[in-house]
Amino acid sequence: PMPAVYVIEDAAMNAFATGRDPEHASIAVTRGLLNKLEYRELEGVIAHEMSHIKNYDIRFQTIVVVMVGMIALLADWMLRSFWWGGGRRRRSDGGGSAIWAIIALIIAILAPIAAALMQAALSRQREFLADANGAVLTRYPEGLASALEKIASDPEPLEAANKATAALYIYNPLKDLGGTINRLFNTHPPIEERVRRLRAM
């Protein structure tokens, strides 16, 4: 089925897909995207978003977010039980649970970080997949490659940008931080790499 299409009245260039499955999907594009891209570039962007719908990426991302949230809750529970219950156990077993307390503390600290890294890595791979599927759908990879370059170089900031929805967009509307560590947490691959892969198709 044809997804519903919406226009966001914003001069910035961006787009996203949403919906729990192809029967309940929507694509939103900004007014800036419609005004600034040529037909073949816009076709590439729409094909990219349709690929997200076809691949059930919104449902997939929802499951990943829930799993990350569960890991964060479990880590929080472990930290709280360490702080509030650890002293009683240490006194009653002569210090034998100190090792378990240290292990619990390490897991409580590292698990949410590992989960966030996993979520970002999966998101980056889904972007590459949507790029490739979109290029196959249009049979013109250059259209999406050119669109991505234009979107990335557009100086107009997206007015409605926030951390909660940034991963949905074809291009992260928030400034990606440089550096190796920060790149590990980015939800989108570097535009240069996306364009390189598209032009190699």
Closest CA to 145 of 68, 198, 82, 103: 198
**At which residue do the structure tokens 């600034």 appear?**
36
**For the chain, how many helices (H) and strands (E)?**
7, 3
At 74, the amino acid letter reads L
Find out whether 198 and 54 touch, Cβ atoms under 8 Å.
no
Residue 49 is a catalytic residue: yes
**At which residue do the structure tokens 């791979």 appear?**
125
At 23, the amino acid letter reads E
SS3 28: strand
Q: What is the mean pLDDT of the chain?
A: 86
Average pLDDT over residues 37-54: 97
What's the pLDDT band for 109 if we cut at 50, 70, 90? confident
Residue of 15 and 62 predicted with greater confidence: 15
pLDDT digits (tens, 9 = 90+) for 2-33: 899 999 999 999 999 998 889 999 999 999 99
Give the integer Cα–Cα distance in Å for 38 and 53: 23
Residue 144 has pLDDT above 90, yes or no: yes
The catalytically annotated residue of 23, 49, 142, 159 is: 49
Query: What was the pLDDT predicted at 60?
Result: 85
Residue 154 has pLDDT above 90, yes or no: yes
Handedness of CA 105, 109, 112, 118 (dihedral sign): negative
Query: What was the pLDDT predicted at 181?
Result: 72
Find out whether 124 and 189 touch, Cβ atoms under 8 Å.
yes
